Structure 1
Amino acid sequence: MKLTRIWGVVVAAFIVSIVAGTAFAQEKVLKIGQLGVMSGPAASWGLVNKYCIQAAAEMINEEGGVEIDGEKYKIELVSIDDKMDPKLAVSGMERLVYQEKVKYIVGPNVDTTAASVVPVIEAGGAINIPYAFSKALYSPPHGNSILGMIASYQAGPVIYKYLKENKGVKSISFIARNDSDPLNQRDEGVEAAKKLGLNIISSTDTYEPGTTDFFPVMSKVVKGNPDLIVLSGVAPADAPLLIKAARELGYKGLLSTETAQDIKILNEVAGQYAEGFISVGGASTPEIQSDYMKKFVERYKKVAGEWNDEAGTKVYALQMILYTLQKAGKSALTDVEAFKKAIPEVKVRNPFLKDEKVLKYVGTAYFGQPRQIGVPMVVNEVRNGKFETLFIGSVED
């Protein structure tokens, strides 16, 4: 009798495992790739992408997944650190596209790595959302990359104009890391400043990657005493050191950048010297957040340990991939051409804003085709150790 009971328990457990295994086998999965810099001075750029996808995927999966053509898909993240190295970016993208069979990838984070993976995504039939500003990535004959944020050449003119009209800025200087990304952003900034009639004091001062003592190069810039110093394409770990050097050298004017920054790093390294520093922020501020966005903020904190302002922009990438897949239908899960055809048709209510605003793809005026997510342009100023909204704009075609 005892043996019969034991056998019955074993059989029951076996049946349960079979049923559970069948259910698991039937669960459909949508793989999303993330490739970006997650180590070194620019690590926060890629890590924010990773944490945004993790947090959003958790929220979506808890609701049963994303529905595409009447079927539910659980989201699975595959994440790779490219260390901001083009060779590692290529090998990472090859792994995502060919080994993991991922069709939709968020990243990379800079021009050099984003450009290096274009042949891989085009040959492998994939779509990526980089955070790099080179116009060539998003312009014909290319069409598989979608800009995930506001570009420096879009934000720069708006920031300079605002500071000219509201802060009395008449002269400007630029300083950049001696690397293609920052140098390109500097050149775009110089052209924008010229068009606004600003007096360019200097624009040739650069520093090498890995620099920790910025006093020698910053002393040259400060000597010109411009109203505004622009830190072109500055990495989050370098920005506070440059700011601190400028202030300790006696500079009293304004400092700004068109790249996203980390308030924790600014406070820890620059401290009070970061007061008044202006940068492009995440596309969500407490004043404009929807209830859904507030829930996402809390989930992000749980995943990452703390909030990063840049996440307000990078939360959009996964959501736009999903909206476009829903518009294109199930065929786009394996065929990105169907996804690309649906891009101009995607117009939905922005789930991250409390006001009724349309979320769509933009960028035609810059790239000749809609290859940019239409995120709000939020410009921040550091006040009392926090990012505060200076003004909000947008990119329109």
Structure 2
Amino acid sequence: MENKVLHKEQFIKRLRGLKSQTGRLQMKNSKSRRTIIKLSTYALLATVVGIPNFAFADGKTLKIGQLGVMSGAEASWGLVNKYAAEATAAMWNEKGGIDIGGEKYKIEIVSVDDRNDPKLTVSGSERLMGQEGIRYVIGPNTDVTATSVRPIAEKYNAIYFPYASSRSLFTQPAENAVMGMVASYQVAPAILELLQKERGVKKVAFVARNDSDGLSNRDDGVAAATKLGLDVVVADATYEPNVTDFFPIMSNVVDKAPDLIFLPASAPSNTPLLMRAARELGYTGLFASDSGQDIKVIKEMAGEYGDGLISIGGASTPEIRSQYMDAFIENYTKVAGEWNDEAGTKVYALEVILAALQAAGPAAIDDASLFKKQIADFSMRNPFLKADSTLSFTGEADYGQKRQIGVPLVLTETKGGEFVTISIGAVK
């Protein structure tokens, strides 16, 4: 159907004409009176504040799903995905929507909280991909929940962008998942090598959450440390996901005198408590995590003990971000109520989805096989960094196929209550 757009002057003229006609009608019932009042009000608003050219177009809607953990200790991971997608959508919608094949689409984000429960992930996937007919879903956030999506995505030929690192999700015969982040086994070697070369780290202790993600990331980190020749003084220290007293576990770790305490897959709510416990026990070395963190939570919960954490970052630090990233931060803050630095790692998924859909054409909105054909050669300018760089799909080195968004491998350090960028690399 052809888009019929009423410009401001045309809109006001037509409303005035309608108002004139309604004035000649006899007000036989309350419905007629309400209609006339509404028309008069709209005409007045159009005259006073103006009407955007696109506001009354016969628009199309592009639905994007967002599925993840938005309650519990890991809630920040899914909520940041949700707010990042909503902020990006708002930025596009303010410009009239996304142009795909010559037609403008309003972007709508449909979110489901899976509470980090695979059963809820399955039902959420069925709702988004089956009932809603959505073919592109951002999330979920852990290996277990991401694995549970695979059969549903294959059934509906949908593509999902999990923040999980299980290699089986992205390796043939699997082809419907695209990793939205840098994997833990890509982050850990980069952190460990940098700290070995530049900070003289020799001894490392691993303290992992006792679940599949924490233990898997721990094993990857231990393997990377061993390969680099580091002395792994603690490899079996674990804690339960809901624990809040970390003094018993950290007491044993600090006694081993490591130079670095590595916290695999640590949730933003746990990291500062782990750091505080170690510092109060006399630890003076560095910390590291292969997952995104929240500087506000670190400041509030770790206080003076919050410095010295090396972790994966994004495009949010002032020294590297572009004006477009500044605009995203402003919109994210409007949506979420406050800024979260982890959004710097979650900002990429929707922008890449939209750009790839533009390249693939409108038929790809309902047919993800057309999107898949774009993956091999797709590239776009990275709009979030000051430096001239490109975004593409990567992952061939780890998965034998391109099933990962080429998010820059940014490492940050907490200093004086802020994240400071210390390294920017890339995943092949």
Amino acid corresponding to residue 23 of structure 2 in structure 1: R
Contact 1:284–1:378 under 8 Å retained in 2:
no
- How far apart, in 2, do the equivalents of 1:14 and 1:206 lie? 66
- How far apart, in 1, do the equivalents of 2:88 and 2:148 lie? 28
Contact 2:22–2:36 under 8 Å retained in 1:
no
Of 148-157 and 287-296, the range deviating more from structure 2: 287-296
- 1:256-297 deviation digits (Å, cap 9, x = unpaired): 111111111111111111111111112342222221111111
Matched, 1:73 2:105: yes
- 1:81-122 deviation digits (Å, cap 9, x = unpaired): 111111111111111111111111000011111111111111
The structure whose Rg is larger is 2
- How far apart, in 1, do the equivalents of 2:273 and 2:110 lie? 34
Secondary structure (helix, strand or coil) at the match of 1:161 reads helix
Secondary structure (helix, strand or coil) at the match of 1:272 reads helix
Q: Superposition pairs for residues 328-367 of structure 1, below 5 Å? A: 328-367=360-399
- How far apart, in 1, do the equivalents of 2:78 and 2:56 lie? 31
Shift of 1:5: 2.9
Amino acid corresponding to residue 225 of structure 2 in structure 1: A
Shift of 1:14: 12
Matched, 1:7 2:6: no
Secondary structure (helix, strand or coil) at the match of 2:340 reads coil
Matched, 1:207 2:225: no
Task: Indicate the residue corresponding to 2:176 in structure 1.
Answer: 144
Shift of 1:225: 0.7
Matched, 1:198 2:221: no
- Pick from 310, 313, 316 the counterpart of residue 281 of structure 1: 313
Shift of 1:4: 7.7
- How far apart, in 1, do the equivalents of 2:285 and 2:366 lie? 53
After superposition, the Cα gap between the structure-2 partners of 1:25 and 1:4, relative to the gap in structure 1 and judged at 3 Å, is: closer
Task: Indicate the residue corresponding to 2:79 in structure 1.
Answer: 47
- How far apart, in 1, do the equivalents of 2:385 and 2:286 lie? 30
Secondary structure (helix, strand or coil) at the match of 1:300 reads helix
Task: Indicate the residue corresponding to 2:339 in structure 1.
Answer: 307
- How far apart, in 2, do the equivalents of 1:275 and 1:198 lie? 23
Q: Superposition pairs for residues 367-378 of structure 1, below 5 Å? A: 367-378=399-410
Q: TM-score, normalised by structure 1?
A: 0.94
Secondary structure (helix, strand or coil) at the match of 2:25 reads helix
- How far apart, in 2, do the equivalents of 1:264 and 1:171 lie? 29
Amino acid corresponding to residue 152 of structure 1 in structure 2: S
- 1:232-253 deviation digits (Å, cap 9, x = unpaired): 1111111111111111111111
After superposition, the Cα gap between the structure-2 partners of 1:69 and 1:13, relative to the gap in structure 1 and judged at 3 Å, is: farther
Secondary structure (helix, strand or coil) at the match of 1:345 reads coil
Task: Indicate the residue corresponding to 1:99 in structure 2.
Answer: 131
After superposition, the Cα gap between the structure-2 partners of 1:134 and 1:8, relative to the gap in structure 1 and judged at 3 Å, is: farther
Shift of 1:218: 1.3
CA RMSD of aligned residues (A): 2.2
Which 5+ residue runs of structure 2 have no aligned equivalent?
1-19, 43-54
Task: Indicate the residue corresponding to 2:415 in structure 1.
Answer: 383
Task: Indicate the residue corresponding to 2:12 in structure 1.
Answer: none
Task: Indicate the residue corresponding to 1:20 in structure 2.
Answer: none
Task: Indicate the residue corresponding to 2:3 in structure 1.
Answer: none
Q: Superposition pairs for residues 28-39 of structure 1, below 5 Å? A: 28-39=60-71
- How far apart, in 2, do the equivalents of 1:238 and 1:179 lie? 14
Q: TM-score, normalised by structure 2?
A: 0.87
Task: Indicate the residue corresponding to 2:199 in structure 1.
Answer: 167
Between the aligned residues of both structures, percent identity stands at: 56
Secondary structure (helix, strand or coil) at the match of 1:35 reads strand
Matched, 1:269 2:301: yes
- How far apart, in 2, do the equivalents of 1:216 and 1:181 lie? 22
Task: Indicate the residue corresponding to 1:61 in structure 2.
Answer: 93
Which 5+ residue runs of structure 1 have no aligned equivalent?
18-22
Task: Indicate the residue corresponding to 1:85 in structure 2.
Answer: 117
Shift of 1:183: 0.3
Shift of 1:6: 4.6
